[in-house]
Each structure stands twice: as structure tokens, then as C-alpha cells.
Amino acid sequence: MSHAADTAMRPLRFMPSGPLKGTIRVPGDKSISHRSIMLGALAVGETKVTGLLEGEDVLATAAAMRAMGASVERVAEGEWRVHGVGVGALLQPEAPLDMGNSGTSTRLLMGLVASHPISATFIGDASLSKRPMGRVIEPLSQMGASFEASEGGRLPLILKGASPAVPISYRLPVASAQVKSAVLLAGLNTPGVTTVLEPVPTRDHSERMLRGFGAELNVEVETDGTRVITIRGEAELRPQVIDVPGDPSSAAFFIVAALLVPGSDVVIENVGLNPTRAGLIDVLRQMGGQIEEINAREVGGEPVADLRVTHSVLKGIEVDPAMAPSMIDEFPALFVAASLAEGTTRTSGLDELRVKESDRLAVMATALAAAGARIEEHEDGLVIEGTGGEPLAGAENAIATHLDHRIAMSMAVAGLASRDGVEVDDTRPIATSFPVFETMLDGLKT
Ligand code: S3P
């Protein structure tokens, strides 16, 4: 599964382009795709999924669910059938579960395994093996699971599930949908009621989908805004028909590209606009970006629209740190947009970016500075002095992407908005979330 393990690096130079024009449809949402397979694998009967993201991260989830007894089959492009084993009936995997580059697969599956009478070894690529798992080990240990992790609570690790697991009430110490989801998924096979207290709201796909699959899940909001999420365990999930909306995190690269490249006019169809995910669009609009929503509707229980994006001269702003969870994966793209805005963009409250697929504050600061942007790196954010619409100079030497798909795609966009182009040292990681990125980009060039 680890794309980096067996093939050579694939560098590519992204050159400035003329206007981007046309209509595209980005692949399915990664978060919803993972959850479709996991929940389908726990429901008894056939779950039908269309629009599934066929990226390496989701394929890692599919392989893991197969290894634990579910049948997960592709019938056509984006069209999958999952036959589940039922909550409580996951089988002991015979070999280590290879999570590749995927933090979401790892943390959510750790939740599932934690309340089953099985043990599993989780392994991953060099990037994933540096990421902190202590944040899920802690609550799942409280529920009775035991762990043998590598130093610092990292992969490879062995997880032995508890049977029965103990229901807990857990206040999230970090704003993380992955940690929230791990505890809720563990709660599925735990007798009684498991509670997660979420002081800062994060993406709510797990809550929506668990309810959609028939789990007894409730959300109440306390006066200080804390969300209290409860799930009753030993649930029975009913198979579903799911149409996965387009991934706003993938759309982000084309939104920013169309805003930055003069003369561009791009329509991106079927973009998921769940408010817990759509922060980038609000911020870009505050910066003066022209992003029009057309044909707003609902797909798979999620708000969706087509977006028409036209070239705009952006203005630097101070980004409200409270926006961070609703655009947590979009900061690398925002930093590129800010590099071409008029004036200064300040971001803060972004400590979490340091523990993504790479340290996205450090890596983007280095990458954009190499491409000619004016950047200051702070402990919890970047301050960027934009060019006022002038292209970036570009980068002669290859930009180090550190096995991070979003760094590669962001710097590809920086290349389009540069004078001399930007070389990305390795485009292979793009396949983790957006295998058709390059083809789609080429299709928009005029
Ligand atoms: C995800 C949650 C986010 C996000 C990741 C996907 C999910 O991580 O960065 O790409 O599907 O739950 P955190 O919850 O750790 O912030």
C-alpha cells in the first residue's frame, strides 16, 4: 500500500499556464469514503457506494476491512459493494494492517479494533510512522484496550481489543475528528453509552453517518458550545446506499488555482459543503475571491453545490483561528493564495498542522520561500506578505514534499501562478487522495 516503498520518486515541474477554463468534477470525499467502507463493513447486508474515492488511503481502509472479514468489492469506477460482518464480529487479521500514508484509516480502525476481541498490528509509511497515536491510545486504553506502541506512541503498534470494552465519557483535549471518531467507533461495540465531549466542533461525518446507518447517536450542545455526543453500544447497523459527494479538500486546489491564474473561469461540480468543512471558501471570499455557488442541493445527506470560480485579486486578511477546524486540510492551499494577495495574511492557532502528513507550517514556509514568497514562520501559524497579484518567481530546485500529498498539490498550484515554474520532488503521494489531479489540471489548461 505504501506508494513510496517500491517505486522511485516522481518529480514534476509545474509551469505557469494560461487561463484555466472548463468544468471538472473532483473525486469523492476522503472522510466520507473511509467511513462508508468501515460502517458498511459492520452492517449486516449489502451497502452500495457510488462516488467512492479510489485513492490509496481509502484502498488501505478497504484492504483492512477485508482482512477483518468484510467483503469490499469494486463493481465499476467509484462504485463499490460492501457486505458487512455485523458489529462485534470483526475477525482477527492474519497479517499486519498496512495503513500506508493514512492517519484517518489508522485512528478510526484503532477505534473499531479496540472494542473487538481481536488484536491487530498497524504499520505505515515513513510519514505515518512519525505521527502521534497517543491521542487515540489514551481514550481507547480507558475503554480497556491495550497497546504496544513504538517510542512516542507511534506506529508500528499492536492493539489488543477489550471484550467487553468499558463505556467512557471523554473530553477531547485536541480538536480532532479522528480522535472523536475513534472513540465513537469503539463505542459501537461497547455495552452502554459512550460519550464524547467536543469543545471545538470538527467535521461531523461520523455522527451523520453513524445515525444514517441506524446507530442510536445523539448530539446536544451545551451553553458554552461544547457538543456532547452519545452513542449507545452493541448497535445493529443497517446497510445503506451512499452517494459520496465531491471532496472540498480536493476542490480547494482548483479553487485557489482559478483565483490566482489571470483569466480563469472554472466550474467545479458536486462539491461537498458541509459547514464543518467549508471554511476555506469563507476565508477566500473574505479575501475578495469570487466563488459562486450554483445548484445547491443535498447528496448523501450532505449539502453540495457546483462552484464557479473566477480569477480575483485577493487581499490579505487576519484569518480567525476559530476557522481552523473547518479548513484544517486547506491551509497549504490558503498559504499559496495568500502569497499572491495584496498585503499581509496572518494565521494563528494552527499547531495541529505540525502533526499532519508532514509539518505543514515548516514545510510550506520553506517551499513557498523557495518559490519567491515572503513568509515568516511562527510557532502556531504563518505570516505571509503577498505579491499583490504578481506571479511568484518560481523555484529552480525541487521542492521537498515529505510524502505529503497536499504539499505536492499546493506547490503545483504555486507553479501555475509563478513566472518560471515550480518543481515538486515527488508527485506519487498525490495518489493518496487525488489520483486524477494532474489529468484534471491538464484538462483545464487552455
Ligand atoms: C479527518 C480529520 C482531520 C483531517 C483528515 C481527515 C477525518 O484530521 O485532517 O485529513 O476524516 O476524520 P484530525 O481530526 O486529526 O484533525
Q: Report how far ligand 1's centroid is from the alpha carbon of 419 (Å).
A: 34
Instruction: Supply 205's cell numbers.
Output: 461525518
Of ligand 1's listed atoms, the one at least distance from the Cα of 31 is 11
Half-sphere exposure of 368 (CA within 13 A, CB side): 34
SS (H, E, C) 176-192: CHHHHHHHHHHHHCCCC
Nearest to 34 by CA among 55, 15, 14: 55
The mean pLDDT values, 10 residues at a time, for the chain of 446 residues are 67 96 98 98 98 98 98 98 98 98 98 98 98 98 98 98 98 98 98 98 98 98 98 97 98 98 98 98 98 94 96 98 98 99 98 98 98 98 98 96 98 98 98 98 96
Say how many C-beta atoms besides its own lie within 10 A of residue 170's C-beta: 24
Top-level class of domain 30-243: alpha beta
Angle in degrees, 0-180, between the axes of helices 405-416 and 331-339, rounded to the nearest 10 = 20
The torsion angles phi and psi of 31, rounded to 5 degrees, stand at -60, -45
3-28+245-444 CATH fold: UDP-n-acetylglucosamine1-carboxyvinyl-transferase; Chain (3.65.10)
- Could you give the angle at the alpha carbon of 243 between the alpha carbons of 75 and 356, nearest 5°? 95
Distance CA 262, CA 377 (A): 28
Q: According to the annotation, is 17 in a ligand binding site?
A: no
The torsion angles phi and psi of 17, rounded to 5 degrees, stand at -125, 165
Q: Report how far ligand 1's centroid is from the alpha carbon of 104 (Å).
A: 6
Q: Report how far ligand 1's centroid is from the alpha carbon of 176 (Å).
A: 6
Residue nearest ligand 1's atom 15 by CA: 176
Residues 196/167, Cβ–Cβ less than 8 Å? no
Domain spans, the chain: 3-28+245-444, 30-243
The predicted-structure confidence for 197-222, as pLDDT tens digits, reads as follows 999 999 999 999 999 999 999 999 99
* DSSP annotation of 247: P
Of ligand 1's listed atoms, the one at least distance from the Cα of 249 is 10
Q: Determine which one of 329, 404, 425, 426 is catalytic.
A: 329
Q: Report how far ligand 1's centroid is from the alpha carbon of 178 (Å).
A: 5
Residues facing 48 on adjacent strands: 81, 241
| Cβ of 326 less than 6 Å from ligand 1 | no
E-state strands within 106-250? 119-123, 146-150, 154-160, 169-171, 193-198, 217-221, 227-232, 241-243
Q: According to the annotation, is 30 in a ligand binding site?
A: yes
| Cβ of 328 less than 6 Å from ligand 1 | yes
CA distances to 15, 202, 371, 373 from 181, rounded to whole Å, are 40, 10, 38, 37
Of ligand 1's listed atoms, the one at least distance from the Cα of 329 is 9
Query: CATH topology of 3-28+245-444 equal to that of 30-243?
Result: yes
CA distances to 35, 46, 237, 300, 365 from 212, rounded to whole Å, are 12, 15, 9, 10, 41
Instruction: Supply 343's cell numbers.
Output: 498585503
| Cβ of 105 less than 6 Å from ligand 1 | no
Nearest to 115 by CA among 26, 184, 65: 184
- Supply the pLDDT for residue 188: 98
| Cβ of 178 less than 6 Å from ligand 1 | yes
Residue nearest ligand 1's atom 4 by CA: 329
How far is C-alpha 16 from the geometric centre of its chain's CA atoms?
27
Q: According to the annotation, is 180 in a ligand binding site?
A: no
| Cβ of 206 less than 6 Å from ligand 1 | no
Residues 182/109, Cβ–Cβ less than 8 Å? no
**Annotated catalytic, 320?**
no
| Cβ of 405 less than 6 Å from ligand 1 | no
Q: According to the annotation, is 178 in a ligand binding site?
A: yes
% pLDDT > 90, the chain: 97
Of ligand 1's listed atoms, the one at least distance from the Cα of 328 is 9
Residues 425/401, Cβ–Cβ less than 8 Å? yes
Residues 162/194, Cβ–Cβ less than 8 Å? no
